Chains A and B, each alone.
Chain A
Amino acid sequence: MSNQTEAEAKKKFSFGDFYKKLGPMVALIVLIVLVSVLNFSFLDPLNLLNLLRQVSVNALIAFGMEFVILTGGIDLSVGAIVALSGAFTAQLVLAGVPTLLSLLIGMLTGAIFGAINGVIIAYGKAAPFIATLATQTILRGATYVFTKGNPITGTKMSNNFGFQFFGQGYLFGIPFPVYIMAIFYICAYILLHRTTFGRKTYALGGNPKAAFVAGVKNNKMIILIYTIAGFLSAVAGAILTSRLASAQPDAGNAYEMDAIAAVVLGGTSLAGGKGRMFGTLIGALIIGVLNNGMNLLGISSFYQQIVKGIVILVAVLLDRKQAKA
């Protein structure tokens, strides 16, 4: 290749790089401006805080999904994990188990479900899509069995201050789930971008064979990554259960789709190996603003789905175009 074409390729590449990094950010800002102009009350601090609280559930799941998708995998079971771990937590709280312990056990079960996904994918050599589709079905079924198809709720939950605080409380005027989201974002960011674990995640997604030859323990990595995804889903599940003061058998239904959408909107490649945690945070915010904005504008929920789908489609097509250029 000539120097000139190399230089050109480099320029193009860095433009693509720019887009990958800042494209989602630009999209978010445009969206915010658009919604604000159409309805001033969007910028009301109360609404913004509410929006952040809404976003926190999806964002937490999406942080885990980011790791999974970076390996070239996918986790369809996260929504079912939200439901079942939430139901466990609710049942424990009702049974009088200390609140903190109930929350921790719920999160631990989420991590275990994730680890099971990982083992099936790593050692069973199963395609992540099918493996997690199966566990999604199993876990959702288990949730219905466990809850007998009815919401788990009771005064022991609605009167439990600590439990209520987890999803509904405010600290210095900011909803508590927003702190949880922020803390896990920082953890996930550091893990992905500042540790050897993160490097190996990228390597695994970029070329699993080469990663293995270079000493990466692929199976161990896969199990850990799905464990993280399961754990973060359970954290999201705990927030959701607390906010609703009940565990719904169909909680978290189709949450995997919003999480995947957030990851993809954030510029992460479904083929694995490319993407950033920051993008996923932005992606989750885009979906949050979209939901919140359309509600404010009084758009019917039926139309909302269509709009959301179109936005995702446009983002993916734009991304493809950049990748090809």
Chain B
Amino acid sequence: MQIDMQHISKSFGSNEVLKDVNFSVKGGEVHALMGENGAGKSTMMNILTGLLEPNSGTILVDGKETHFDNALEAEQHGIAFIHQEMNNFGEMPVLDNMFLNKEIKKGFGLIDNAKMKTIAQKALDQLDMKVDFSQPIGELSVGQQQMIEIAKSLMTDAKIIIMDEPTAALTQDEIQKLFVVIRKLRDQGVGLIYISHRMEELFEIADRVTVMRDGLTINTYNTADTNVKQIVHDMVGRDMGDFYPERHPKYGKTMLEVSGLTNDKFKDVSFSVRSGEVLAFSGLMGAGRTEIMRAIFGIDKLDAGTIKVDGKELVIKNPNDAISHNVGFLTEDRKTEGLILDATLADNIDLPSIDGFSKHGLIDEKADKDFVDMLLKRLNVKANGRDDEAGSLSGGNQQKVVLAKWVGSGSQVLILDEPTRGVDVGAKREIYDLMNELTDRGTAIIMVSSDLDEVLGFSDKIAVVYEGHLMDVVDTKDATQESIMTLATGGKNE
């Protein structure tokens, strides 16, 4: 099967989101689609799958002009869209989720579970996957749920599968498994459209890559004929210089020192971070990095261990204690813990600092507003103003709002858990620049990251966690992908 999208244009009101775009994918290839947030990738895929109507242009399926009125029609033609956010019902068994609204029935309206199981198993066999169909789907890992999504598309006999950021929440291990499956599907003649922000994956899995920017398709390359620099250049429309800004750290005194931290998720963890330093925390997902940070910040309980901030030993019982000692924590999941999505930017940004704006018991509204405006400007948040709802911003800008909270609260120790996840290239660079600026002014930063390139590209030291143990802390300049991966998988470097 081959799909050609030709001269597609789409406007919302007077704003052109797609401008005379061409894109094609054929069976037996993995075609990556790259571009910053807002470049038009999603709009194009939504048009392909019948969710949106183009203003002009044609879609050819195997050379024949085709038009899908809705997603179901596209699905019936063999085009499956695996969305980034999986809409599963966590409490419902795997099987019920897989056949939701497509239940197979026998007489009297009863559901034919046996038949459904047979069909589902056939799809899962293709992926070499085994699951207990009666298990609630929410108990599966994100990676497994992703596989179930793929199995669902196989059940509909999909010839073209669109994957939107499929690896965003997967561990390194699960990513490799996913790639095996993708290659297998490709070899079976399925065409895959692969949307991702991760450069290294692109070169590992894609046969072709199309870069979009500002509603235009900039270029389509054979992956073998291009490189990271070329693609980044196409994505941002200029050279990024080095992808990661250089670090010129000037270290001061030790700002955070922990020793013997223990709870049921990690054991005997000791490390310290100095003023002006970026200490990266690397490790596989589930190794316990996030849990260590949550305990330091007082979200989770510690069973043992001491925490010293700025030389003073503290008992941190809740985040309030941590904040009052100038510790800030950007959580891994900004939607559930970082932001109040339907509150304004102002109400989000000043929340950790709000007690400081209390004058005679009342909030000093003017000082508060000035404070918020200053931070929005300083972090270059793209929004109409402080009264925008946080949920209305793009991922990168939401992340900047969370950062603004912690910059504003005067954090001397700033813990950033996956600060650039789900953030486009341009905003990523801005976040690194901000981190540089903060460390220049003496902030100590801990950066938990699953992106090994980032860890190696933008830190001074790297702490590696494996199954709740801190394996080692190494100087970044002495570290390599291999040495970090060895530690992260429980090995020792000689």
Contacts and interface: CB of A to CB of B under 8 A. Distances in A.
B15 A4 contact: yes
Given A194-B363, A207-B341, A209-B337, 10 more contacts: A3-B13, A4-B15, A196-B354, A210-B340, A211-B340, A213-B299, A213-B331, A215-B324, A216-B351, A273-B343
B342 A274 contact: yes
B319 A215 contact: yes
13 contacts: A2-B12, A4-B12, A194-B362, A195-B358, A196-B355, A199-B347, A199-B354, A207-B337, A207-B343, A212-B319, A213-B338, A214-B319, A274-B342
B466 interface: no
Q: Sorted from nearest, which 5 A-B pairs have the closest CB atoms? A: A4-B13, A2-B15, A206-B340, A214-B351, A215-B323
Contacts of B342: 206, 273-274
Interface string B321-346: 01110000101000011111111000
A203 B347 contact: yes
Contacts of A210: 336-340, 348
B319 to A, nearest CB: 5
A196 B320 contact: no
B392 interface: yes
Contact of B347 (A1, A4, A7, A202): A202
A155 interface: no
A5 interface: yes
B10 to A, nearest CB: 10
Contacts of B336: 207, 209-210
A10 interface: yes
Given A195-B362, A214-B405, A202 B343 contact: yes
B384 interface: yes
A97 interface: no
Nearest to A10: B384
B347 A213 contact: no
A5 B12 contact: yes
A203 B322 CA distance: 19
Interface residues of A, number: 32
B251 interface: no
Contacts, number: 100
B271 interface: no
B134 interface: no
B319 A213 contact: yes
A8 B340 CA distance: 23
Contacts of B46: none
B354 A200 contact: yes
B35 to A, nearest CB: 15
Interface in B108-137: none
Interface in A14-58: none
A206 B343 contact: yes
A26 B466 CA distance: 62
A104 interface: no
Contacts of A1: 12, 38
A195 B357 CA distance: 9
B241 interface: no
Contacts of A203: 340, 343, 347, 351
Contacts of A5: 12-13, 15
A9 interface: yes
Interface residues of B, number: 41
A125 to B, nearest CB: 15
Nearest to B334: A210
B481 interface: no
Contacts of A207: 336-337, 339-341, 343
Interface of A: 1-10, 13, 190, 194-196, 199-200, 202-203, 206-207, 209-217, 273-274
B306 interface: no
A199 B15 contact: no
B17 interface: yes
Nearest to B358: A196
A1 B362 CA distance: 38
B414 to A, nearest CB: 14
B17 A212 contact: no
B392 A9 contact: yes
Given A203-B343, A209-B337, A2 B362 contact: no
Nearest to A14: B387
Contacts of B389: 13
A13 to B, nearest CB: 8
Nearest to B406: A214
Interface string B9-40: 00111110100000000000000000000100
A212 B318 contact: yes
B410 to A, nearest CB: 12
A195 B323 contact: no
B352 interface: yes
A212 B361 CA distance: 21
Contacts of A217: 318, 320
Interface string B267-308: 000000000000000000000000000000101000000000
A223 B342 CA distance: 24
A215 B320 contact: yes
A213 B348 CA distance: 12
Contacts of A216: 320, 351
A129 to B, nearest CB: 20
Contacts of A206: 340-343, 347
Contacts of B15: 2-5
A8 B392 CA distance: 13
A8 B347 contact: no
B369 to A, nearest CB: 13
B362 A190 contact: yes
Contact of B357 (A2, A196, A209): A196
A151 to B, nearest CB: 41
Nearest to B333: A209
A214 B352 contact: yes
B399 to A, nearest CB: 14
A141 B474 CA distance: 67
Contact of A2 (B17, B324, B329, B392): B17
A71 to B, nearest CB: 13
Residue of A194, A214, A274 with most partner-chain B CB within 10 A = A214
A213 B409 CA distance: 13
A198 to B, nearest CB: 8
A272 to B, nearest CB: 10
A7 B12 CA distance: 11
A4 B14 contact: yes
A194 B324 CA distance: 22
A212 B299 contact: yes
A249 B89 CA distance: 47
A217 B354 CA distance: 13
Contacts of B322: 215
A220 to B, nearest CB: 9
A215 B351 contact: yes
Contacts of B324: 215
A210 to B, nearest CB: 5
Nearest to A9: B392
A282 to B, nearest CB: 22
Interface string B226-263: 00000000000000000000000000000000000000
B339 to A, nearest CB: 6
B322 to A, nearest CB: 8
Contacts of A215: 319-320, 322-324, 351-352
